[in-house]
Structures are given as C-alpha cells and as structure tokens.
C-alpha cells in the first residue's frame, strides 16, 4: 500500500486493509469527498476508475497539486534549499550527534527559532500566493506533522521534534511517483457542490467526526448542520443509483452520535478494529471506547 507524505489526523492508512475489501469491485468514477492526506485516493491504483479527490482546505489541495505536477528531483531540491536557507536541521545528512541532540529528546529546541521565522514568512504571504513547498516544510518540522490553521487562516502549528528524515523522504518520493501515474485530479470544493448524479460513481466519505475533537474539527469546524447536510447528500447518492462508503464513529469517549446511528439503520454497518497509534482522539481509553464504523449502501 502507498503511504501519504502527510501525517493527517485520523488518516486511514492503518485500516486500508480492512476497508478496501468492503469497497465495490467495479466503478467508473471514484470520489474521495474529504481527501485529507489523499491516502485512500492514491491507493485506488488497482482500479480503472477515474479518481476525483476533494477537500475544503485550499492550502492542502494546492500542496497536493504541487506534488503531483512537480518532478520528484525538483521537490527534493526545493525542500533541501529551504532547510539550508533557514538553517533547519538535517539529520538525514548529519545525524543527531552533529546537533548535540538525540532521537529521544528530539530537535524542537534547536529548530524553534528558524521554524518560527519560516512560519512567519509563510503567513505574511497573500493567502492565494502562499508557497506550497513552504507549507510542506512547515508540516515536516511541525508538531506531529499536523496541518493546522487558526480562524484567520494563519498556519499555527508549533515546532516538532523531527525533521526531513529518511522516513519523510521515502514517503514523499513514494507518493509523488504514485500520484503521477494515476488518473487523479485534486480540487477544492464543499461536498455539497459535488455532482452525485453521474452514473457508475462510488463515493468514499471520511468527514470530520461530529463527536470528536480532532485538530481539523477545532473551533466548531464541523456542525450538526454539516452532518445533516452530508447524510442528506448520501441519501441522494443512493437514490441516484450510486454507491457510497462512509467512515465515521458511533461512539467516542462516552459520547454517542445518535443522529448517525438512527440514519445508518437503513444501510449496512461494518465495525472497524482500529488503533490510531499517533492520534490523541481516536483510541480506547479508560474514559470510554471508540466504535468506528464503515457504513455502505450496498
């Protein structure tokens, strides 16, 4: 399976082996309605379907498009050039010892000032002209590699412990090669505007979860109205003779999504065994369990 070069909250890489066998066998059009890291979209490589990957996050979509159209050698050169220009660490070339650090304590104290400077440069650019490669470097050096913006549209993730190490390089190369060899397009759009009437379409849907507190759902980013609109959209998908698979949670830390549970009764529910090892909102704890599901209309 192909890994994404982005470590997106709630990413589905670790359960692809569970959810992909539940997808339909044939369809002409695959729509990833909330693509995030695009890990589900790029792992549709064994299908002949045309892939459409959408997200409301404009900087994210611009970054995905940039990686798709830019040769990997140019990508690598650009990343390394920024690292050198801003005097960020490069443990791939020099190791931790060169910086008087180790993998346990990490690199945050060493990179903090340079990272803040780079973040300020990025945020001071006009929003439509912000450099996708600057954003990628911020993600690489940021806390948990999160893509995090405040209400003013400013990137506000603090510095993290890691840098552009071998694992990050390998994932970027792997993703870049794959996305260039697929019939895939990326687009910024609200899900309500996507055509659900085109025949022989399959929609994979992984929205923000109403009852979780993930980074992408801070500040009321996903509301009950959004949830109702999405469920109505999926009903239309079904009525139009198309297929969908919806990833979501019925229960999280004692909270129940009664709206989703009631709606799902007319469809098929598959319970997923999931351990979000690097995520702080999708795991079993003493405070309660997470019941993750895949809801399908077929």
- The string of DSSP letters for 146-209 reads ---B-TTS-B-PPB-S--S-HHHHHHHHHHHHHHHTS-EEEEE--GGGS---SSSEEEEE-PPP
Where is 78: in which H helix or E strand? helix 72-85
pLDDT tens for residues 85-123?
A: 999 999 999 999 999 999 999 999 999 999 999 999 999
CA distances from 119 to 116, 131, 288 (A): 5, 11, 37
Q: Which of 187, 188, 147, 181 is nearest to 68 (CA)?
A: 181
The contacts of residue 16 (CB under 8 Å, 6+ apart) are: 1, 39, 40, 43
Does the structure show a pLDDT above 50 at 280?
A: no
| Whether CATH 1.10.1020.10 fits 70-174 | yes
Residue 283, both tokens? 């795991």
| Contacts of the segment 19-27: beta carbons below 8 A, 24+ positions apart | 19/245, 19/247, 19/272, 19/294, 22/245, 22/270, 22/294, 22/296, 23/202, 23/204, 23/245, 24/202, 24/243, 24/298, 27/200, 27/201, 27/202, 27/243
Name the pTM for this structure: 0.91
Distance CA 252, CA 113 (A): 37
Model confidence at 140, pLDDT cuts 50, 70, 90, reads very high
Does the structure show a pLDDT above 50 at 284?
A: no
Distance CA 85, CA 181 (A): 32
Model confidence at 275, pLDDT cuts 50, 70, 90, reads low
Distance CA 39, CA 268 (A): 24
Strand 50-55 versus strand 243-252 pairing type: unpaired
Does the structure show a pLDDT above 70 at 218?
A: no
Q: Which of 294, 221, 227, 215 is nearest to 258 (CA)?
A: 227
Q: Match 């010892």 to its residue by tokens.
A: 97
Better pLDDT: 186 or 211: 186
The contacts of residue 285 (CB under 8 Å, 6+ apart) are: 253
Does the structure show a pLDDT above 70 at 67?
A: yes
Domain range annotation of the chain: 13-56+189-296, 70-174
Distance CA 40, CA 12 (A): 7
| Percentage of the residues of the chain whose pLDDT score is greater than 70 | 92
The contacts of residue 120 (CB under 8 Å, 6+ apart) are: none
CA distances from 220 to 33, 207, 246, 266 (A): 20, 14, 21, 28
Does the structure show a pLDDT above 50 at 73?
A: yes
CATH of 13-56+189-296, one of 3.30.365.10, 3.40.50.150, 3.10.450.40, 4.10.520.10: 3.40.50.150
């Amino acid at each position: 399976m192909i890994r994404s070069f982005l470590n997106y909250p709630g990413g589905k890489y670790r359960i692809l082996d569970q959810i992909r066998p539940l997808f339909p066998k044939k369809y002409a059009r695959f729509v990833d309605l909330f693509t995030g890291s695009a890990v589900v979209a790029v792992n549709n490589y064994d299908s002949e379907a045309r892939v459409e990957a959408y997200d409301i996050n404009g900087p994210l979509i611009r970054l995905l498009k940039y990686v798709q159209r830019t040769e990997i050698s140019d990508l690598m050169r650009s990343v390394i050039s920024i690292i050198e220009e801003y005097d960020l660490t490069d443990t791939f070339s020099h190791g931790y010892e060169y910086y008087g650090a180790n993998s346990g304590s990490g690199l945050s104290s060493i990179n903090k000032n340079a990272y803040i400077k780079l973040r300020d440069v990025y945020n001071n650019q006009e929003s439509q002209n912000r450099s996708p490669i600057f954003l990628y470097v911020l993600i690489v050096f940021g806390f948990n590699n999160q893509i995090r913006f405040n209400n003013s549209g400013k990137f506000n993730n603090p510095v993290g412990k890691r840098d552009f190490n071998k694992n990050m390089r390998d994932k970027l190369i792997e993703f870049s090669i794959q996305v260039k060899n697929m019939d895939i397009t990326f687009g910024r759009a609200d899900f309500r505007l996507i055509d659900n009437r085109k025949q022989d379409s399959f929609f994979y849907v992984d929205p923000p979860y109403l009852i979780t507190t993930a980074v992408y759902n801070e500040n009321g980013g996903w509301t009950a109205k959004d949830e109702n609109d999405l469920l109505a959209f999926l009903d239309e998908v079904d009525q139009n003779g198309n297929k969908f698979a919806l990833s979501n949670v019925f229960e999280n830390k004692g909270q129940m999504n009664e709206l989703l549970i009631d709606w799902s009764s007319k469809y098929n529910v598959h319970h997923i065994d999931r351990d979000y090892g690097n995520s702080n909102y999708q795991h079993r704890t003493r405070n309660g369990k997470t019941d993750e599901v895949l809801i399908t209309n077929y």
